Chains A and B, each alone.
Chain A
């Protein structure tokens, strides 16, 4: 369970969204018993929250890539306004 949770938290937005869509399809196909559908529901909620979190967190990097003698170097980039 803990391992699974870590995995979801590492998923990209696209991966989470695809997984969420798959689960919804599975739920909608029907023929599932209550236990199984509750299990899927719980997974879907985790994925939904993951997607929401990615969308809502506006933290992101803008960096500048420079070539150096040892290869490349990244540094923070600020636009001069």
Chain B
């Protein structure tokens, strides 16, 4: 009877065939990407094809992170890997370890695509660049433990400044280079070194490819510790060089940038020392001169001089007050002289004569004006008395007029002042008649 297997048993048998067959392992295949899907875990599943066939492939996350380009449908690629059988699903796929664009044109295009993408993310921006510390305690180095790079860095720092070096040995070219460089940067960040040099000796541009992978460039950009890269050449800088805080053309230059020159620093300290002694000397000089001034002022010779000086001052003061008194007295004396001169009898007589003459003049003028006034007055009086004669009421009475007064003796001028029965007196030229009002009649004429 024929052998009967479970599905699993059969699949396991195929798996053992696949795993033990060496000519399906570590194979390089060239093909075109017919389709590609990704999983949330970071794995990719491309399908590669040529004119006649196709094969499912698996690109696990670790391998995908080393890609220097973004695989796209229609792209021709070279893949390296092994056949792998999935027992549970009963499917065969090609497990890709590494994938490169096929041909130089594709490589170049892939690099350009990565460059543009990282550039647009700002990974190469000048604002991201951090200063390199002037006096690091420990310099971390990511490079091959056997090349000239670490030797140059150790020699240069030894010559310039005593600083510790922590090497994170890395594979810098070939398979696994990118992952090993990323790991080195991460480990040194964890160790808390002050600056990291990522270095590599000279080589063809293909040998620099690890420094153009996305994962390495990102690790450089994300490093918390400032990074000096010494990877490429002036004519052929890598993306890692562009993402680093500082780019150095050689490992020796990188070590120089990370350290100060011991001799220069010694000179600096010597100068500081000079400045200390200069300022101290000047402080001492100032203090000394202040002291000597005090000392001089305290000497006995000086005291004597001071007393002499004070005495002189006093004398001057006395002299000055004397002068003031004399001046005052002279002033009073001259005032007195003027006063005395005013009392001179001859001068007094002159004055009196002058007064008299003036008085004479005044009285003459006065006499003349008074005489004129008297004549005028006489004339006025005459004319006034003539006018007064005309106004004498008694003269009018002589011509037949009379006037009436009321009981109070007030002269009446209107009938309105009279009422029927009022007693009045009538005055005539030669006497008075008493009368009483029989009736009062007012004139009709409005004019009155």
Give the bracket for the number of chain A residues in contact with chain B.
35 or more
CA distance A12 to B161 in the complex (A): 13
Q: In the complex, how many residue pairs between chain A and chain B have their CB atoms under 8 Å apart? A: 105
Shortest distance in angstroms between A76's beta carbon and chain B's nearest beta carbon?
Answer: 11
8 Å CB contact of B167 from A14, A21, A63, A72: A63
Shortest distance in angstroms between A27's beta carbon and chain B's nearest beta carbon?
Answer: 4
Chain A 52-72 interface 0/1 with B at a Cβ cutoff of 8 Å (1 = within)? 101101111111111100001
Shortest distance in angstroms between B262's beta carbon and chain A's nearest beta carbon?
Answer: 5
User: By the criterion CB–CB under 8 Å, are B279 and A60 in contact?
Assistant: no
Residues of chain B within 8 A (CB-CB) of A64 are 145, 166-167, 169
User: Does B283 sit at the interface, judged by CB under 8 A?
Assistant: yes
CA distance A32 to B27 in the complex (A): 82
CA distance A77 to B146 in the complex (A): 11
Residues of chain A within 8 A (CB-CB) of B161 are 55
User: Does B201 sit at the interface, judged by CB under 8 A?
Assistant: no
Residues of chain B within 8 A (CB-CB) of A28 are 275, 279
Chain A 28-65 interface 0/1 with B at a Cβ cutoff of 8 Å (1 = within)? 10101110011001001100100110110111111111
8 Å CB contact of A57 from B137, B162, B272: B162
Residues of chain A within 8 A (CB-CB) of B272 are 20-21, 24, 44, 48
CA distance A81 to B188 in the complex (A): 25
User: By the criterion CB–CB under 8 Å, are A79 and B150 in contact?
Assistant: yes
- Near A by CB (< 8 A), chain B positions 255-290 give 262, 265-266, 268-269, 272-273, 275-276, 279-280, 282-284, 287
Specify the chain A residue showing the minimal Cβ separation from B273: A48
User: By the criterion CB–CB under 8 Å, are A72 and B191 in contact?
Assistant: yes
User: By the criterion CB–CB under 8 Å, are B283 and A32 in contact?
Assistant: yes
User: Does B83 sit at the interface, judged by CB under 8 A?
Assistant: no
Residues of chain B within 8 A (CB-CB) of A65 are 140, 166-169, 187-188, 191
Q: Given A12-B137, A37-B283, are A80 and B146 neighbors across the interface (CB < 8 Å)?
A: yes
User: By the criterion CB–CB under 8 Å, are B164 and A63 in contact?
Assistant: yes
Shortest distance in angstroms between B304's beta carbon and chain A's nearest beta carbon?
Answer: 32
Residues of chain A within 8 A (CB-CB) of B146 are 80
User: By the criterion CB–CB under 8 Å, are B269 and A81 in contact?
Assistant: no
User: By the criterion CB–CB under 8 Å, are A27 and B269 in contact?
Assistant: no
CA distance A62 to B164 in the complex (A): 6
Shortest distance in angstroms between B182's beta carbon and chain A's nearest beta carbon?
Answer: 12
Shortest distance in angstroms between B90's beta carbon and chain A's nearest beta carbon?
Answer: 36
User: Does B100 sit at the interface, judged by CB under 8 A?
Assistant: no
CA distance A60 to B275 in the complex (A): 31
Q: Given A64-B167, A65-B168, are A79 and B183 neighbors across the interface (CB < 8 Å)?
A: no
Specify the chain A residue showing the minimal Cβ separation from B146: A80
Residues of chain A within 8 A (CB-CB) of B169 are 64-66
- Near B by CB (< 8 A), chain A positions 4-28 give 12-14, 17, 20-21, 23-24, 27-28
Q: Which residues from chain B sit less than 8 Å from chain A, CB to CB?
A: 133-135, 137, 140, 145-146, 150-151, 154, 158, 161-169, 183, 187-188, 190-191, 262, 265-266, 268-269, 272-273, 275-276, 279-280, 282-284, 287
6 closest A-B pairs by CB? A14-B135, A27-B279, A61-B164, A62-B165, A60-B162, A37-B283
Q: Which residues from chain A sit less than 8 Å from chain B, CB to CB?
A: 12-14, 17, 20-21, 23-24, 27-28, 30, 32-34, 37-38, 41, 44-45, 48, 51-52, 54-55, 57-67, 72, 74, 77, 79-81
